[in-house]
Amino acid sequence: MEQIKQLGSLLQDFLGWVRAWPRQALQRLAGLIPSGSMQKKLVARGLPDSYGPGMKTWFLLLFLVVGSAFQLQARDTYLPVGNLPGAVAACNQAYKQIKKGDFDGAIQSYTTAFKVDPRMYVAIYERGVIYMHQHKWELAIADFNTALKVSPSFFLAAIKRAEVNQTLGRYDQALAELTHIINLRPRYHTDALARSDRAWLYATCPDPAFRNGQQAVADATAACKIDSWDNWDYIDTLAAAYAETGDFKNAIKFEEKAIRKGGREDTKSAQERLALYQQQRPFRLARVR
């Protein structure tokens, strides 16, 4: 009876994620499923492409609940089900704190979630993302390393680690990581993100040794196609790629398209890049000192 109550609490907490952010909920739910379990293998194999993020989320939720009833085995250790609701509750608290701008509080909540349930690698990943926004680069990398240690196939953590390395000027490490991820042929949005990030590096890197305009155009175009030309950020990357090749006509065309698709706050920097392209100048990333 107690286990049923715990699972009921988990379901109730998670319903808000599914309704509000189906795609993000899919990612977070996958983070609840222990590595090495039958459910994790099903997730790695992938669900039918015709399923939308909402339907996929419900299927993964079913995997989680059924598996939790039998106390899923992760590696050689059985992890108790009783800690899952507490970890989910801590993550929910973190999301609320982020919305209020309480990032330090969110860090504490994510820390609690991972401490309560070491399977919750998404919590430590989200903490790393906050550290990125706070420019605490090495702490961010440490968290992404931890998330990948728990779940080596959690490519989002590897992509974020590459983004940090790019910011810190470790372009060789960033490029190698993104290329490795792309070669592993991840599914859909993860593939699009990795390709867009690699295109951004090829197009905007301050070090000319790492720039490759033609490959940047190819990567960014692929990312846009994967996401059905619905992500303004990928279109913005494509504009930067064309600018690197000297094709400022297309750079302006796609930057204007990105600005139309994005929100006012999101595209403030895109407006600045558009001005550069109108002056026949490519965009270059600033170096972190």
**Residue length of the chain:** 289
Q: Is residue 51 part of a domain?
A: yes
CA 132 to chain centre: 13
**Domain assignment of residue 273, given as a range:** 161-278
131 and 29, same domain (yes or no): yes
Distances in Å between the alpha carbon of 27 and those of 21, 95, 179, 196? 10, 15, 22, 19
Q: Among residues 129, 153, 177, which one ends one of the domains?
A: 153
Q: Does residue 273 lie within any of the structural domains?
A: yes
Q: Are residues 128 and 238 in the same domain?
A: no
Q: Residue 81: inside a domain, yes or no? A: yes
Comparing CA positions, the residue from 206, 189, 274 lying closest to residue 236 is 274
249-255: long-range contacts (C-beta < 8 A, 24 or more apart)?
251/277, 251/282, 252/277, 252/278
* CATH label of the domain that carries residue 128: 1.25.40.10
145 and 165 co-located in one domain: no
What is the mean predicted confidence (pLDDT) over 245-267? Answer: 92
Q: Give 49-93 pLDDT, tens digit per residue.
A: 444 444 444 445 544 444 443 333 333 333 344 366 788 889 889
pTM (2 decimals)? Answer: 0.73
For the stretch 222-243, pLDDT in tens is 999 999 999 999 999 999 999 9
- Angle, alpha carbons 8-9-11 (nearest 5°): 65
Last residue of a domain, one of 137, 153, 169: 153
- 3-state SS class at 74: strand
Same domain for 166 and 55, yes or no, is: no
Let me know whether 70 and 148 are in one domain.
yes
Distance CA 6, CA 2 (A): 6
- Reported as a single tens digit per residue, the pLDDT across 138-197 is 999 999 999 999 999 899 999 999 999 999 999 999 999 999 999 998 888 899 999 999
